[in-house]
Structure 1
Amino acid sequence: MIAATSLSIQTPKHQEAGVPVNVQQLKQRYQAAGQGHLLAFYDDLNEEEQKKLLDQLETLNVERVNRIHQKATTCPSPMLNNQAALLAPLPEECFDSILEASKDKIQEWQTIGLNQISQNKVAVILLAGGQGTRLGSSAPKGCYDINLPSSKSLFQIQAERILKLQQLAQQQPGAVENVTIPWYVMTSGPTRPATVAYFQENNYFGLSSSNIVFFEQGTLPCMTFDGKIMMESKSKIAVAPDGNGGVYAALRGTGVLSNMAERKIEYLNAYCVDNCLVRVADPVFVGYCVQKNADCGAKVVRKNAPDEPVGVVCLRNSAFSVVEYSEIDEDVAHAINPKNGQLSFGAGNIVNHFYTLDFLNKVESFEGDLEYHIARKKIKSLDIQTGDVITPKQVNGMKLEMFVFDVFPFTERMAVFEVERREEFSPLKNAPGTGQDCPETSRRDILQQHVRFIEAAGGKIIIGEDDEQSEGAPTLEISPLVSYSGEGLAEIVAGKTIKTPLQVSSLDELKSAVF
């Protein structure tokens, strides 16, 4: 079993063997690759700085970096040409909506999913490399407190959903003795130490540390527009995370895929940390994809309007893709499906995916064909001519990244599952007070959902005079340890009334609050 903090990228070979780097050979290699400037100041460095630089250069596959830059700048994917003419709506056979499905069908999917979880075949991949910079926090975004009455962070909310789901699956007939949902947490270099420390300080939120595996996403060098690798200082290459699409290489390179195989995992649910409503390892979604025999799946929400600026899951050049709003013609964006009156291109992407482990293992075979996206940035970097570090006032370079959905065109059996936005998607992206996708809307959406849980279970809510409502939401918080998605409440609240403000941490607390 891999310990919670033991996974890491391999140590450079010369460090493992204690063999010094052949500096001359390394210089020749980088000169041949057109990147010899990275060693321009080598002789000016002290011994420690020289070792630091050589470690980076030896582990960097500079030829691969050159190929990535070449492809990203001169060989755009044919899927990006004539987008509007080559777009097509999702095929009916691969698409279903929880908004249209019967209760019996939803129950069927849920039972399939719970059965898979009860056999320890399901794990979760959390994309948690982001910092809370836009939120005014230097901590990892998952540590952020959205000001719930409980003060729970995003990490804690999600951990408790896993705990509750394990309990629900344990009740399934034929469940294994100890149902576990392993949690693979992808951090970035800057967020790794703080994320691990946060989990340790909070005793892993009640989960077993042996079932939480931290791993780091990769990085790519920042580059000038003419293909030169940029330097942060005389002894350090300027690098940036390779995007959430770097998860596939990271899963392989850090040993996570092998760990999954050892655990006999078959199905994975991957999602972003910033969605406060995410149903982690959602058994309905898992069951739907398993029933469809899908190797890859995506949750989507219905677009609010044709011009809502979100990516859309659809077909592009007959392959499944996520197409950005800016790539879609206005006429296409407004097209209506005559069968249901909905937008033909209305499947809004929320970065919540299903995979089989077999599919994740196949990514390596087509990784060279994946797209790399260019983000043009102002990058603080070393002036090779003067040796000075320059803080630019204009865009001076690029960061290359992949998106997690770039694998969609390579799936053989795709499943797309539409869920209700207000129940499953409320991203935290913007600073407090902005009014959209911010801490206040995240808090509101959770509290409003918990009101719906009580009302759907047959209970009535009275708003107390001392309830300081936020964004019009009564202050009612129900711990995920009490209910994962509203189940188990009816026997307590049906025909009864509760008064807000109320924070419910256990079923006993709920029982004592009803009247």
Structure 2
Amino acid sequence: MITANSPLSIQTPKPVDANTDASSLSYEQIKERYQAAGQGHLLTFYDELSSDEKSQLLAQLQSLNVERSNRIHQKATTCPSPLLTNQSVFLAPLPEECFDSTLEATPEKIQEWQNIGLNQISQNKVAVILLAGGQGTRLGSSAPKGCYNINLPSSKTLFQIQAERIRRLQHLASQQEGAQSQIVIPWYVMTSGPTRPATVKFFEEHDYFGLEPTNVVFFEQGTLPCMTFDGKIMMESKSQIAVAPDGNGGVYAALRGTGVLANMAERKIEYLHVYCVDNCLVRVADPVFIGYCVQKNADCGAKVVRKKSPDEPVGVVCLRNATFNVVEYSEIDSEVAHRINPKNGQLAFGAGNIANHFYTSDFLNRVESFESELEYHIARKKIKSLDFSTGEVITPKQVNGMKLEMFVFDVFPFTKRMAVFEVDRREEFSPLKNAPGSGEDCPETSRRDILQQHVRFIENAGGKVVVGEDDEQIEGAPTLELSPLVTYSGENLSQIVAGKSIKTPISFTSLEDLEKAVF
């Protein structure tokens, strides 16, 4: 059993010792391989290196699949997205049979989906994959973004909020008829190399937020070498290749390469919920979403929110040349963006992507069969790198290279049975992207959106929220916080708050606290 105490990681070959005969041969083999691949320049300064530096470089070269890197570069530079070329492209709205909306569905239908989802969770068939490789650099923090405190009254971080939602959901599922004796929603946390140590330490310091450590599994996304525009691999020093994370779409290869897929098979997981760490409103392992996708017999699903306007800069889930895709807003012309669906009066291309997905385990295992066909995206960057003519490390003033990455939605064209599920943006999507004080998708808006949601939970349960004189109401939100351990999505409150009032500012960690506070 792979556990959180023995974290998953891609195995790196042992360093090669150039001082032994066997290792000398390995050096010659590596040199020949890289020269054949047109990347022999990576050994330019090999003879100048210390023994440790030689071992470090050879280990990195040995573990890198240079031929694959060349293929990815060639595919990305010679086969760009047809939307960026003059190739024929046909965009079409989502087929009605694969789309439903919680904004239009009856309460009875939503309850039906939820029951299906809770039943799957109660049979221990559901797991969660968290995309948490990013750092909070734009937030003014060097820590992993999941460690960020959005200044709730409880001071809970994104990691803690999400962990407690898992705990609450496990409790709700345990009440299902025929539930397993112990309900487990395994949490697979994908980090990047730089965020892995800090993420693991943060979980350890906080006792995994009440979850069993064996059910929180860390694994790393892969990397790809940075390359020049003519396909040469760049170096950050004489003994180190310049690499960068391969994007959140690297999750598929990482799941396979680190043993996570095998771990899921051992646990008999059938359904996966995948999401990004920066959404403070995310409903982790959402039983309604799970139930909807299971009822549709989908192998792949996407949660979306309704675009605010035709010009909102978000990607749209739609059909591109008869296959499911996420088409970026910059790739859709104005006429298409403003097109209206005559049946409901909504935007025909209004399914805004929020990187919140469902997969069957069978689909995730099938990704390997079409991985070579996936699209890689070019990010043109200023990359600090080694000048091979002088041996100096240069900090460029202009773009000098590229990082290659894949997006998590790049697998959509290969789904056999897609399901798209529209949810209420107010209830489920509030991303944390920008620095404090920026006014949009920032810590203040995240805090506001959670507190406003909790006020709605109370009001929808028949209670009244009275704003106290000493409530500062940051961003206009009454200061009322409900722990996810109290309620996952507003359930279990009406018997306590119906017909009663609550005065702010206040924060609840248990139903007992809530019972004492109402009047």
The letter for the 1-side match of 2:23 is: P
Partner of 2:42 in structure 1? Answer: 38
Partner of 1:219 in structure 2? Answer: 223
Partner of 2:388 in structure 1? Answer: 384
Partner of 2:473 in structure 1? Answer: 469
CA distance in 1, matches of 2:15, 2:57: 13
The letter for the 2-side match of 1:104 is: E
Verify the 8 A CA contact 1:79 1:317 in the aligned structure 2.
no
1:174/1:80 Cα in 2 relative to 1: closer, same or farther (>3 Å)? farther
Report the alpha carbon displacement of residue 353 of structure 1 after superposing the two structures with TM.
0.2
CA distance in 1, matches of 2:42, 2:510: 59
The letter for the 1-side match of 2:238 is: K
CA distance in 1, matches of 2:185, 2:216: 9
Partner of 1:160 in structure 2? Answer: 164
Report the alpha carbon displacement of residue 11 of structure 1 after superposing the two structures with TM.
2.8
Q: After superposition, where does 1:20-419 map in structure 2 within 5 Å?
A: 20=23, 22-78=26-82, 81=85, 85-419=89-423
Verify the 8 A CA contact 2:15 2:56 in the aligned structure 1.
no
Q: TM-score, normalising length from structure 1?
A: 0.98
CA distance in 1, matches of 2:310, 2:39: 46
Report the alpha carbon displacement of residue 6 of structure 1 after superposing the two structures with TM.
2.4
1:328/1:348 Cα in 2 relative to 1: closer, same or farther (>3 Å)? same
Alpha carbon RMSD of aligned pairs, Å?
A: 1.3
Partner of 1:2 in structure 2? Answer: 2
Verify the 8 A CA contact 1:479 1:505 in the aligned structure 2.
yes
Report the alpha carbon displacement of residue 10 of structure 1 after superposing the two structures with TM.
1.4
Verify the 8 A CA contact 2:12 2:59 in the aligned structure 1.
no
1:441/1:83 Cα in 2 relative to 1: closer, same or farther (>3 Å)? farther
SS in 1 for 2:233: coil
Report the alpha carbon displacement of residue 81 of structure 1 after superposing the two structures with TM.
4.8
Runs of at least 4 residues off by over 3 Å: 13-16, 77-85
The letter for the 2-side match of 1:363 is: V
The letter for the 2-side match of 1:3 is: T
CA distance in 2, matches of 1:237, 1:14: 15
Report the alpha carbon displacement of residue 509 of structure 1 after superposing the two structures with TM.
0.3
Verify the 8 A CA contact 1:14 1:20 in the aligned structure 2.
no
Q: Deviations over 1:244-279 (max 9, x none)?
A: 000000000000000000000000000000000000
Report the alpha carbon displacement of residue 84 of structure 1 after superposing the two structures with TM.
8.4
Verify the 8 A CA contact 1:110 1:287 in the aligned structure 2.
yes
Verify the 8 A CA contact 1:84 1:327 in the aligned structure 2.
no
The letter for the 2-side match of 1:197 is: K
Report the alpha carbon displacement of residue 3 of structure 1 after superposing the two structures with TM.
1.4
The share of aligned pairs that are identical, in percent, is 80
Report the alpha carbon displacement of residue 215 of structure 1 after superposing the two structures with TM.
0.1
Report the alpha carbon displacement of residue 326 of structure 1 after superposing the two structures with TM.
0.5
CA distance in 2, matches of 1:15, 1:281: 44
1:122/1:80 Cα in 2 relative to 1: closer, same or farther (>3 Å)? farther
Structure 2 gap ranges (5+): none
CA distance in 2, matches of 1:451, 1:417: 25
Report the alpha carbon displacement of residue 24 of structure 1 after superposing the two structures with TM.
1.4
The letter for the 1-side match of 2:465 is: I
The letter for the 1-side match of 2:3 is: A
Q: Deviations over 1:303-342 (max 9, x none)?
A: 0000000000000000000000010010000000000000
CA distance in 1, matches of 2:75, 2:359: 27
SS in 1 for 2:356: strand
State the aligned residue count.
Answer: 514
The letter for the 2-side match of 1:108 is: E
SS in 2 for 1:271: strand
1:313/1:83 Cα in 2 relative to 1: closer, same or farther (>3 Å)? farther
Correspondence 1:512 to 2:513: no
CA distance in 2, matches of 1:402, 1:503: 41
Partner of 1:487 in structure 2? Answer: 491
Report the alpha carbon displacement of residue 75 of structure 1 after superposing the two structures with TM.
1.9
1:342/1:279 Cα in 2 relative to 1: closer, same or farther (>3 Å)? same
Partner of 2:13 in structure 1? Answer: 12
SS in 2 for 1:20: helix
Report the alpha carbon displacement of residue 242 of structure 1 after superposing the two structures with TM.
0.1
1:441/1:242 Cα in 2 relative to 1: closer, same or farther (>3 Å)? same
Q: After superposition, where does 1:408-447 map in structure 2 within 5 Å?
A: 408-447=412-451
CA distance in 2, matches of 1:514, 1:28: 75
Verify the 8 A CA contact 1:86 1:316 in the aligned structure 2.
yes
Structure 1 gap ranges (5+): none
Verify the 8 A CA contact 1:300 1:348 in the aligned structure 2.
yes
The letter for the 1-side match of 2:510 is: S
Q: Deviations over 1:455-494 (max 9, x none)?
A: 0000001100111110000000000000000000000000
Verify the 8 A CA contact 2:226 2:244 in the aligned structure 1.
yes
